[in-house]
Structure 1
Amino acid sequence: MLRLRTVKFGLTCVFVVILLIFTVMTTMSDVSSTDYRSINNLDQNWDKPLHIAYPTAAPKIVDIIAEPTEIPTPEPVGPTPILLVTYMRSGSSFVGDLLKINPKTFYSFEPLHKLQAEVIKEKPVYYLDGTLRYPKNFMELSVDAIEHLSTCAMEKLPLYFYQDGFFSGFTDSTKFKICMNKTKIESNLELGRKCSRVLSKGCKNSEFLVAKIIRIPLSPLEFLMKTIPKLKIIHLLRDPRATLSSQFRAGRYKVQNMQSAIGRFCNRVYDDMVIRDTLNRKYPGRIMTIEYEDIVRDPLEYTKRLYEFSGMEFTKHIQTNIVKLTASTQKQSNSSVISSRWRTKLLEGVIKTADEKCQQLYMKYGLKSLSFKDLKNISVPLKVDKVVSFGDFRHEEMEKS
């Protein structure tokens, strides 16, 4: 009897083990089948999110294929460059003072002055990184310098920039000199590079950079209009007879070379006006023409126009400072006397030569050729009522490019 019970118990155990093995094998088969179906499903639905199913409850896997995120292009840093382009003795220092009254402006006073003087002497141009260039083209060097200045890359400017006596007219020039501690920049380029970063920092922290430029024409500046989309140009004009008279008194040219000097000057101004019109069509809203006589006649109104064009805010503080700066103008019973002072002391040789050599410019500008008697009468207007427009085919290629 005992033996029979033992046999039954053994058979029961065997049955239980077989049942357990069968259950495990069935489960593994289900898992394998499920995984296969899930993977096989990828071929048919590759563009859909991937979810792998399991026989037991489990959290879903996050989609592994995500939409690409578009990274926005950062806005260019640094100030808006504004080039005040004009000619010697055309009122640029006065207009520059009006613009630098804005406390958010970094001002550069004639950055090409010494560079031009040394290039004329055919001297090599040294840079803060220790390199030097033998200039073949002053215009090329000038555009490079203005580009570096406009982008606050002060360490890339030539040494002449820092050695120029005009450098004292720059914003933060005093900080630079303190940093140099009376050390000559050419004797310690490493210190020069360090101190140039003082200027770069002040420039980058400003909203506007204004550079007064009288030494190059407008044509090479188109390159900067293309490469620096924020850059703007103010083209300042003055009656060429007034400018030439002032230049002669300042010793810019002598009687012996008066004919050629006046002819070159008027041709340059004329070319600039033609190129300005072309650039205005190619880059609308980025070039402004203003006349010195208008600013002197109504400094507050025309300074507002300059600020509006430049994107500067015309605050009450700025207005107060401009009134102080132009106080002498405002006290005049007839403010046109200031800009017409040259008419009361005529240089007859200069005027005669200008009338002969500058007729093309007179027509473009809208100027009258007047007798000496009428010129001395400041109530007689210098300009015609309406300027007649005419084409100039010398600049056709520039239009097409």
Structure 2
Amino acid sequence: MLPFSHFFGFRQNTGILPSRRFFKGAQILTVFLGFYSFCYICTIARENGTIRILSSLRLNNFLCLSLPKPPHLSDNHFSTRHPPMNLIVAYMRSGSTLTANMVRHNEGDFYMFEPLHGITQAVQKTSPVQFLNGTKRMISRRELFTVYAELLYHWFTCNFAGIDITALTHPFIVQYTPELGEYYRCINPKTSRRSKTENVKMCLTWLHKRCVKSKSRTIKTIRLPISMAGKLLDWLPSLKIIHLIRDPRGILNSQFEKLVNDGKNMSTAAEELCQSISNDLSAYEDLQYCHKNRITRIIYEDMCENPFVIVPKLYEFLNTKYTKRVNDYVKWTMTGPVRSCDYCTNKGNALMNAYRWISIIPRHVIQTFDTHCSFLYPKLGYQNLDYDKLNITERSWLPGTSH
């Protein structure tokens, strides 16, 4: 039998250095041992369930690489102390205004309501968008989400020169942030020969001062996908994101009831909404893996049922003190008798309002919604409701039932 040394290309007791065949043999042995060890580890991992977890992770979850900030997004407008920044990402008629009011009710917060509304309308009308710095730009639908992220970056960093004029002059400012009323009155004088842009430039010092000196900054939007919100987590180190979810049937029913469905039929609206939510859920998983302490999700129905549990948890997540002032506001807004108003947030009995759709939705409507959205229900803890039993159904979300 040939000696073991023969296979590795050298003779015993000759003093001759190993040949090229030796190194080749050593490489083969190394690969074999490595493969054997890998198989052994996989066998142990499979028994412990680890292999299932590892196989579900995406490559970018391992890397968690930060996305570089575009060069044109300057840091010069940052205040020196980088205050806490809060972003509520939600869907139209999902309870986002109510949720944002809970979050921003702490003292010294600079809040902006739907700052992407105006630019969205301009793109839909294929109109050029004018920015405060004097530039005009046609924005395509393809690049819109990227522009959204950059605009929110400018809002959070108080860089108003990079923001569109429509957002800086929209009636939402006085309607949803009355504390900015002085600025809004300044840009809308009773008599003025100046242009709207000139008025804004003249009054901007007040808005900029308010923003820079704020203890925190909060923005609520229904237009930004979670995947694009992830860019802001990379660009803004003090940012935290709240992803608000509501039963899609409640969202859609409210949209059609208030005629804010953009002319879409029920089938198209349901398909688009639930696909959007599904995409956001996938993106959320990725972001939570890389930024687990900076992004959270709340269920609207859970907040309405347990406001004095969920809202304090939100404040804890945001590292903000939950004061008696905030608690009193939650009590005034979420409880008490039902008040009739379409777009106000202090309707009372929030839980009843959250589930009002159950008592009024027609059979064909819920069937249409279920066709496109039922795949989401178990993921979020919602029941697939039988229409004939709706009259005895009190709620659609059950805690602890999501997958």
SS of match in other structure, 1:360: coil
Q: Alpha-carbon deviation of 1:315?
A: 1.4
User: Paired residue for 1:103?
Assistant: 107
User: Paired residue for 1:375?
Assistant: 390
* Cα offsets for 1:128-158 (capped at 9, x unmatched): 1211111122212211110000111123211
Which of 290, 295, 307 in structure 1 is aligned with 2:298? 290
Distance 2:193 2:365 in 1: 43
User: Paired residue for 1:391?
Assistant: none
Q: CA separation of 1:113/1:75 partners in 2, compared to 1, >3 Å: closer, same or farther?
A: closer
Q: Does 1:158 align with 2:173?
A: no
Q: CA separation of 1:329/1:295 partners in 2, compared to 1, >3 Å: closer, same or farther?
A: farther
User: Paired residue for 1:41?
Assistant: none
User: Paired residue for 2:49?
Assistant: none
Q: Does 1:218 align with 2:233?
A: no
User: Paired residue for 2:187?
Assistant: 180
Q: TM-score by structure 1 length?
A: 0.72
Distance 1:333 1:153 in 2: 37
Q: Alpha-carbon deviation of 1:213?
A: 0.3
Identity between Structure 1 and Structure 2 (%): 30
Q: TM-score by structure 2 length?
A: 0.71
Q: Which amino acid aligns with 2:183?
A: F
Q: Which amino acid aligns with 1:337?
A: M
User: Paired residue for 2:359?
Assistant: 344
Q: Alpha-carbon deviation of 1:101?
A: 1.9
User: Paired residue for 2:314?
Assistant: 306
Q: Does 1:120 align with 2:127?
A: no
SS of match in other structure, 2:265: helix
Q: Does 1:249 align with 2:253?
A: no
Mapping of residues 19-38 of structure 1, within 5 Å: none
State the number of aligned residues. Answer: 315
Conservation of the 8 A alpha-carbon contact between 1:172 and 1:199: no
SS of match in other structure, 1:289: strand
Conservation of the 8 A alpha-carbon contact between 2:244 and 2:297: yes
Q: Alpha-carbon deviation of 1:115?
A: 1.3
Mean Cα deviation higher: 92-101 or 231-240: 92-101
User: Paired residue for 2:59?
Assistant: none
Q: CA separation of 1:324/1:223 partners in 2, compared to 1, >3 Å: closer, same or farther?
A: same
Conservation of the 8 A alpha-carbon contact between 1:85 and 1:214: yes
Stretches of structure 1 lacking an aligned partner (at least 5 in a row): 1-73, 389-401
User: Paired residue for 1:79?
Assistant: 83
SS of match in other structure, 2:276: helix
User: Paired residue for 1:237?
Assistant: 245
Q: Which amino acid aligns with 2:117?
A: H
Stretches of structure 2 lacking an aligned partner (at least 5 in a row): 1-77, 340-346
Distance 1:350 1:254 in 2: 17
Q: Which amino acid aligns with 2:302?
A: D
User: Paired residue for 1:149?
Assistant: 155
Q: Alpha-carbon deviation of 1:370?
A: 1.8
User: Paired residue for 2:327?
Assistant: 319
Q: Which amino acid aligns with 1:133?
A: R
Q: Which amino acid aligns with 1:77?
A: R
Conservation of the 8 A alpha-carbon contact between 1:78 and 1:207: no
Q: Does 1:259 align with 2:302?
A: no
Q: Which amino acid aligns with 1:138?
A: L
Q: Alpha-carbon deviation of 1:335?
A: 6.5
Q: Which amino acid aligns with 1:192?
A: V
Larger Rg over CA atoms: 1
Conservation of the 8 A alpha-carbon contact between 1:248 and 1:254: no
Cα RMSD, aligned residues only: 2.8
Q: Which amino acid aligns with 2:145?
A: M
Distance 1:214 1:184 in 2: 34
